[in-house]
Amino acid sequence: MGAVGKAGSFASVEAENRLLHRVVATITSNLGLDAVLRSIVDLVAEATRGDACFPHLWDTHTGGLVLRAASAGFEEAVGQVRLRPGEGVAGWVAEHRQVVAIPEDKWADPRYKYIPELAGERFTSMLSVPAVSRSGALVGVFNVHTRERREFGDRDIDFLRLTASLVAEAIDHANLFGKLAEKERALEALIRKTIEAQEEERRRVATELHDGVTQQLVSVWYRLQACGRSLRDDPDRADRELAAARQLVDEALAEARAASGLTPREGEVLARLVEGMDNRAIGQALYISEDTVKSHVKAIFRKLGARDRGHAIAIALRKGLAR
């Protein structure tokens, strides 16, 4: 090859590399898919010296190809042209994942299908390349058409295949991220429903506890009424009614403490705090060490949100946690 031939070849490679850089820059931009495809259509036509470029993408919902972008003059066909697997050259390429180059007389090719919206009569030659991602997923088919007869060379085919694979990879990743986003949204919805269910259960339990404590307090009131009537005439019955009232009060206190998150032992310590006992006295009364009492007191402060003993006693009396 002479100096001029080498220079021309080098210039051609340089131009092709610049176009590939523009393809990569377009694909990795923040543009939406439709805008990316419109730009890719122009770049492919420029690189292959084609007169029209039609990217048909695979529609997972319908199981066929749909035209997603088009060269100038064919914009109205976008979204309207649909092909089943095996239908037309693009459908055949999608089904077999093989490149098809038709330099002339495409009407004689049994794979060719005339599509009025794409004005096949205006074009002589066509090149059709599958767009397949590295994961092996078919993303679509890229078609290039020329008005004049054209023998598509290896460079044309390689450039279109590389561009199609780059677009396929970008779309495959976008679909993956979309699926992950859908899963995240579903997980968030599940967590939200779980929290709502837990909150509803908490309200239900709180209502039941409140109703249970109320019923016990009403029972205590009746017991005390009966005790008052029996004090003179039947002292033994009065003692029995008082004992029953104390039992009901203890049960009500236990439920109220449980609702506040206090353990039975913490409830006992709290009761002694209300009686005015210090840690040593509480330990002696409950047969536990003073350090253990201190641990229970700290837990009581934390669960009641109390600042100190006086505050804890006030909260206990206000909430009916002690008598």
Domain containing 322 — which CATH number?
1.10.10.10
In total, how many domains does the chain have? 2
Last residue of a domain, one of 127, 151, 178: 178
Last residue of a domain, one of 162, 178, 194: 178
Residue 201 has pLDDT above 70, yes or no: no
* pLDDT at residue 163, rounded to an integer: 82
Confirm whether 254 is domain-assigned. Answer: no
Confirm whether 207 is domain-assigned. Answer: no
* pLDDT at residue 207, rounded to an integer: 45
Distance from C-alpha of 43 to C-alpha of 39, rounded to nearest angstrom: 6
pLDDT above 70: percentage of residues in the chain: 68
What letter represents residue 145's amino acid? H
* pLDDT at residue 34, rounded to an integer: 80
Confirm whether 43 is domain-assigned. Answer: yes
Residues 173 and 267 in one domain: no
- Closest Cα to residue 175, out of 95, 200, 167? 167
* Chain segment 100-123, per-residue pLDDT in tens: 999 999 999 999 999 999 999 999
* Chain segment 4-62, per-residue pLDDT in tens: 343 333 346 666 677 777 777 777 777 777 888 888 888 888 888 889 999 998 888 88
Confirm whether 102 is domain-assigned. Answer: yes
* pLDDT at residue 181, rounded to an integer: 46
What is the CATH classification number for the domain harbouring 74? 3.30.450.40
* pLDDT at residue 225, rounded to an integer: 56
Confirm whether 190 is domain-assigned. Answer: no
* Chain segment 51-88, per-residue pLDDT in tens: 999 999 888 888 899 998 899 999 999 999 999 999 99
Residue 11 or 166, more confident = 166
Residues 159 and 296 in one domain: no
Confirm whether 275 is domain-assigned. Answer: yes
Residue 204 has pLDDT above 90, yes or no: no
Confirm whether 82 is domain-assigned. Answer: yes
H/E stretch holding 264? helix 264-274
Q: How far, in Å, are 240, 254, 256 from residue 213 at the CA level?
A: 21, 9, 7
* pLDDT at residue 208, rounded to an integer: 45
Residues 145 and 37 in one domain: yes
Residues 268 and 168 in one domain: no
Last residue of a domain, one of 178, 209, 225: 178
130 burial type by CB count under 10 A (0-12 exposed, 13-18 middle, 19+ buried): buried
pLDDT grade for 209, boundaries at 50, 70 and 90? very low
pLDDT above 90: percentage of residues in the chain: 27
Residues 153 and 278 in one domain: no
- What is the separation of C-alpha 99 from the centre of its chain, rounded to a whole number of angstroms? 38
Distance from C-alpha of 304 to C-alpha of 197, rounded to nearest angstrom: 25
Residues 45 and 169 in one domain: yes
- Closest Cα to residue 40, out of 154, 131, 155, 116? 131
* pLDDT at residue 83, rounded to an integer: 93
- Eight-state DSSP code of residue 87: S
* pLDDT at residue 47, rounded to an integer: 82
H/E stretch holding 83? strand 82-83
- Eight-state DSSP code of residue 143: E
Residues 281 and 137 in one domain: no
Residue 323 has pLDDT above 80, yes or no: no
- Closest Cα to residue 165, out of 209, 133, 197, 129? 133
Residues 149 and 283 in one domain: no
* Chain segment 123-154, per-residue pLDDT in tens: 999 999 998 887 788 888 999 999 999 998 88
* Chain segment 178-191, per-residue pLDDT in tens: 444 455 565 566 65
Residues 20 and 152 in one domain: yes
Confirm whether 213 is domain-assigned. Answer: no
- DSSP states of 7-73: HHHHHHHHHHHHHHHHHHHHHTSS--HHHHHHHHHHHHHHHHT-SEEEEEEEETTTTEEEE----TT
Longest dimension (CA), the chain: 134
Q: What is the mean pLDDT of the chain?
A: 77
User: Residue 169 sits in which domain range?
Assistant: 3-178
Contact 108, 21 (CB under 8 A): no
